[in-house]
């Protein structure tokens, strides 16, 4: 079965950058669309970014457009989230998710079948 392991979170200051990684195993990575979601304290889990199986299509929440970049390496079986110009509002646990083939809506968490354990990102002002 699919396993997802996130890494790269940490404590940074506003304006700093972080790159999250999510290692995929258990199935053929290139058959899976991938997404990043986040849950801030006391809030619902929100969509951040997603990428198609081949990496040719990417999707972003309005709140991160222009600051975050999602990418994937289908040789290393890894999806990345490059986060630049971080803001305190980006503080959350970030989760990687996968979905076999393509979801109908990349931004809906119910479309994804597999989830990682999450990695904490804390941005201080």
pLDDT (0 to 100) of residue 46:
97
In what helix (H) or strand (E) does residue 18 lie, and over which residues does it extend?
Answer: strand 18-25
pLDDT tens track of the chain, all 125 residues? 999 999 999 999 999 999 999 999 999 999 999 999 999 999 999 999 999 999 999 999 999 999 999 999 999 999 999 999 999 999 999 999 999 999 999 999 999 999 999 999 999 99
Residues written for the chain: 125
In whole angstroms, what is the distance from residue 107 CA to residue 60 CA? 8
Cβ atoms of residues 75 and 63 within 8 Å: no
| DSSP SS3 for 84 | coil
DSSP secondary structure of 42-66: TS-EEEEEEE-TTSS-EEE-TTTTT
How far is 14 from 48, CA to CA, in rounded Å? 18
Rounded Cα distance, 53 and 47, in Å:
18
């Amino acid at each position: 079965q699919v396993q997802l392991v996130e890494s790269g979170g940490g404590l940074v200051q506003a304006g700093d950058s972080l790159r999250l990684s999510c290692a995929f195993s258990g199935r053929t990575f290139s058959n899976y669309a991938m997404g990043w979601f986040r849950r801030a304290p006391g809030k619902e889990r929100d969509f951040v970014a997603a990428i198609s199986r081949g990496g040719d299509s990417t999707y972003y929440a309005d709140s991160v457009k222009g600051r975050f970049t999602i990418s994937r390496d289908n040789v290393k079986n890894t999806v990345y989230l490059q986060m630049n110009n971080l803001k305190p509002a980006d503080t959350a646990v970030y989760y990687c998710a996968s979905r076999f083939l393509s979801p109908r809506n990349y931004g809906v968490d119910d479309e994804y079948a597999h989830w990682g354990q999450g990695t904490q990102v804390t941005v201080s002002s």
